[in-house]
Amino acid sequence: AQKVTQAQTEISVVEKEDVTLDCVYETRDTTYYLFWYKQPPSGELVFLIRRNSFDEQNEISGRYSWNFQKSTSSFNFTITASQVVDSAVYFCALSGRVGNTGKLIFGQGTTLQVKP
């Protein structure tokens, strides 16, 4: 079975602090994709990143960085120098093997509050 666990329900930081959101996944597939989505208060789902299981290189995009470690089945997301606009719910998600229907399994989400 596939499962995504985001153990942190809520995180509160002060602006300019760095924050890491944890994501642990379970899958029996050898090929899979991992994602992070942001859901601001307005409710839409904003795609942040997709990473396939064969690419363990860490990725940095501006203040965002992602650490994918297959050995621990984790795909953690770090925001450097957080800003108030980063306040949102962040979801980690998993997609199964190529050729499946492409559905995503989401974690429970982590609510990030960045205080000024």
Q: Site mask, other proteins, residues 5-44, x = CB under 8 A? A: ----------------------------x-x-x-----xx
Q: Answer left, alpha or beta for residue 16, where phi above 0 means left and psi between -120 and 50 means alpha.
A: left
Beta-ladder partners of 113: 12
Nearer to other proteins, 11 or 15 (CB): 11
Tell me how far apart the alpha carbons of residues 114 and 16 are, in angstroms, rounded to a whole number: 9
Instruction: Return the H-helix or E-strand segment holding 89.
Output: strand 88-95
Pairing of strands 64-69, 59-61: antiparallel
Nearer to other proteins, 28 or 116 (CB): 28
Tell me how far apart the alpha carbons of residues 18 and 101 are, in angstroms, rounded to a whole number: 36
Give the count of residues interacting with other proteins (CB under 8 A): 25
Q: Site mask, other proteins, residues 68-107, x = CB under 8 A? A: -----------------------x-x-xxxxxxxxxxxxx
Task: Enumerate binding residues for other proteins (CB under 8 A).
Answer: 33, 35, 37, 43-45, 47, 50, 91, 93, 95-109
